[in-house]
Amino acid sequence: MNGIEDPLNRPASFPYKKWLLRGFRFSIIVGGAFAVKDAIERYSDYQASVRSNIENRLDYECAARLDDPSLLAARNEFGNINVRKFFCSDRDFFVSMPEIADVRAGKMDFSTSLPAFDLVNTVVASVFGFLASITISAAALMIVVVVRWVW
């Protein structure tokens, strides 16, 4: 018909195509939600690690400011010193004399080992969320198709 399609003579298409596309779009949103959740959790872990390292640094620096005779007098049977006794910490925090020497010399590293943002793991979480959602959506659609066929 002169290049114009007749809407009444179109071949029959898969009747659940719209639902497949909706499931696909929904899976993209779920994948994005998984990525955001993963990024927030990893950043929260990073912040907790930084906070813990700051507390440790303050405890070590407080112990490093104390004189050696008082520290050596407070050693336990393992050679460690609980700096809580000196009001350097609000928790039991054990240090050793070599650690104190490293802090005094500025050799001890208090940086965190966790990254603030981990792109690879966030992408993996996003892909996992997408694939899980598309699988569940496809399974639900298959159940509907089978139930309608049986009914």
Residue 19's pLDDT is 83
Instruction: Determine contact, residues 38/121, Cβ cutoff 8 Å.
Output: yes
What pLDDT is stored for residue 27 in this prediction? 93
Indicate the DSSP class of residue 94.
E
Mean pLDDT of 135-142: 91
Separation of alpha carbons 22 and 137, rounded Å: 9
Q: Which residues of 112-132 are buried (b: 16+ CB within 10 A; e: fewer)?
A: beeeeebeeebeebbeebbee
Return the percentage of the chain with pLDDT > 70, whole number: 91
Summarize pLDDT for 1-48 with one digit per residue, the tens: 555 665 555 555 667 788 888 889 999 999 999 999 999 999 999 999
Report pLDDT digits (tens) over 84-128.
Answer: 989 988 899 999 999 999 999 989 988 888 899 999 999 999 999
The residue extents of the domains of the chain are 17-150
- Could you give the 3-state DSSP secondary structure of residue 88? coil
Q: What tens digit of pLDDT does each residue of 67-95 get?
A: 989 888 888 899 899 999 899 888 999 99
